[in-house]
Structures are given as C-alpha cells and as structure tokens.
Structure 1
Amino acid sequence: MHGSRAKMAEEEFSLLAKGLRERFPTAKVEYGFLEYSSPNIYMALDKLVAHGVAHIYAAPGVLFAATYAKNDIPLVLTTYQEKYPQLTIECGQELGLQDNMIR
C-alpha cells in the first residue's frame, strides 16, 4: 500500500495482514507502506529475510495500476533483491476493478 496520513487506513491494512496470517498460518505475512506510514516496505522485507524466507510474494494493496503499482513498488522490490541475490521476489498486480465491486 502507498501509505496514508489517516490512521484508520493504516489500521485497516494492519487488520488485512492479521486476517491473512490467520487464514494462512504457515506463511510469513508482513506488510509495509511506501511512504507516510509505518512499517515501511523495507521493514517488512527485512522481517521476512530475518525469518529465513527465501521466496517473497508481494501483493500491492492498491486498486488501480497507477505509478505506485507500475513503477514504485517494482523498483523497491528490484533494488531490495539486488541486495539479497539468494532471495526470490515476485510482485503481484493491483487489485483492479472487479464486477462484484460495482453491483
């Protein structure tokens, strides 16, 4: 997620991560924001590496393919992976508009 100055947005994203941890108890789930909020994306990646995770799947928490999803997040992940060549990082797509969202 991009990050927000609104505390409620941070809390909602934190609850999403908590729900994913409960749904997938064997997976290491962390979250980080690009800016404005904490933890940032680097902190989340560092936690995963510290836990010995060798393959990271990053799911951008953005609705549309704006600059954050197309440029900023992939750049951060590529730069991070250069620091840890043994690490595999995949980046998913933006959430996108789904039919059931507009019904």
Structure 2
Amino acid sequence: MTRFAIHYGIHFLVPLVIALSLQKKWLRYYLIMLAAFVIDLDHLFATPIFDANRCSINTHVLHSYYAMVVYLILLIPKRTRWFGIGLIIHICADWIDCALLNL
C-alpha cells in the first residue's frame, strides 16, 4: 500500500505542486502534465496488461531509454515543455516504483 501511495502521489501531487508554484494558469499546466499518462498505453501491449511486480522502465516501448531521450528533447521547445515535464515526472515515478520493488 505504501508503494502504491508513493507511486501515485508522485504522479498526481508533484505536477500539482509544480503547476501551483510556477504559473498563474496552474490548472492548464497541471492538466497538460497529467496528459503524460498517455504513455501508459504501451501497457496494453504487454501480457499481462497489469502486473504489480513488473518494472515498467525499459520493459514497455514508451518507457524505454530511447523514449526518455525524446522526452528530454521535448523540454527544449516552449510549446512542448509542460508535456515533457509531465513525461519526465511520470518516468521518475515509475523509476521510484521499480526501486521500491527491489526493497
């Protein structure tokens, strides 16, 4: 239960804190960062679709190291920056979840 709370706390609370602390249009930026959940669509191609004991990092296409390079590049243009931040937060949450799996 603690792992679940940490994982989803990072997914939802970190973007909220960033959006609230940096921007007047916080709700817009928060929703853009939450849109990064779209990368979890790659779980649909896994068997089983959900496995609580599987690390997503480098297991799924959109969670691969190659995809992470693209997410870092998305931070550069102003138009994609907030989505890129959301993707990086998502990957960090999944990375921490993987670390907690190995404890």
So what's the TM-score if we normalise by structure 2?
0.31
Structure with greater proportional helix content: 2
More strand by share: 1
Bigger RCO (CA 8 Å, 6+ sep): 2
